[in-house]
Amino acid sequence: MPARIPKSLKQKRNELTGQRQNLVKAIQKIDREIRTLDYAIKLIAPDWQPPTGLHRTYKANKFRRGVITKACLEVIVHLKDQLIIPADDGQGFQSIVDSDSSGTWTGLWPDRGQFAE
């Protein structure tokens, strides 16, 4: 007695087979269009040769998580004595980042603790 195949598996297979057939037809259509364009270009420039390799598409570069934050913090630490913001009283300026000799943050993020320079 043959094994019973679930209906959902058969339906999914039929659906994917139909999608594959549609994609194959689309590729064949694109191939015909490319051949037509190649022929038209050959009429204009008989010595033209189509490119041999495919042009690779590159996806946009993305920064890994935390890379930008780390870079910003490194800039702040490096420029800690040069960065100033208006003081709360509106009468002058104060340093954005203050740290003692141990490197402990006492400015913007006092709860963050040590930051390796």
Per-residue confidence (pLDDT) for residue 91, from 0 to 100: 55
Is residue 76 domain-shared with residue 104, that is, in the same domain? yes
Is residue 11 domain-shared with residue 43, that is, in the same domain? yes
**Where does the pLDDT of residue 19 fall: very low under 50, low under 70, confident under 90, or very high at 90 and above?**
very high
**Where does the pLDDT of residue 1 fall: very low under 50, low under 70, confident under 90, or very high at 90 and above?**
confident
Per-residue confidence (pLDDT) for residue 78, from 0 to 100: 78
Is 62 part of any domain?
Answer: no
For the entire predicted model, the pTM comes to: 0.42
Q: Which domain covers residue 28, as residue numbers?
A: 1-53
Q: How many domains does the chain have?
A: 2
The string over 48-82, giving b where at least 16 C-beta atoms fall within 10 Å of a residue's C-beta and e elsewhere, is eeeeeeeeeeeeeeeeeeeeeeeeebeebeeebee
Higher pLDDT, 67 or 13: 13
3-state secondary structure (DSSP) of residue 98: coil
- Judged against a pLDDT cut of 50, whether residue 109 lies above it is answered with no
CB atoms within 10 A of CB 105: 20
Per-residue confidence (pLDDT) for residue 50, from 0 to 100: 85
Is residue 40 domain-shared with residue 75, that is, in the same domain? no
Six-digit token string for 36: 């037509």
Nearest CA to 109 out of 67, 68, 69 is that of 69
- Judged against a pLDDT cut of 60, whether residue 104 lies above it is answered with no
Is residue 48 domain-shared with residue 94, that is, in the same domain? no
Residues 82-100 pLDDT 10s:
655 555 555 555 555 454 5
Is 59 part of any domain?
Answer: no
Is residue 79 domain-shared with residue 45, that is, in the same domain? no
Is 100 part of any domain?
Answer: yes
Is residue 41 domain-shared with residue 71, that is, in the same domain? no
Is residue 47 domain-shared with residue 2, that is, in the same domain? yes
Is residue 37 domain-shared with residue 73, that is, in the same domain? no
State the average pLDDT over residues 37-57: 85
Is residue 48 domain-shared with residue 83, that is, in the same domain? no
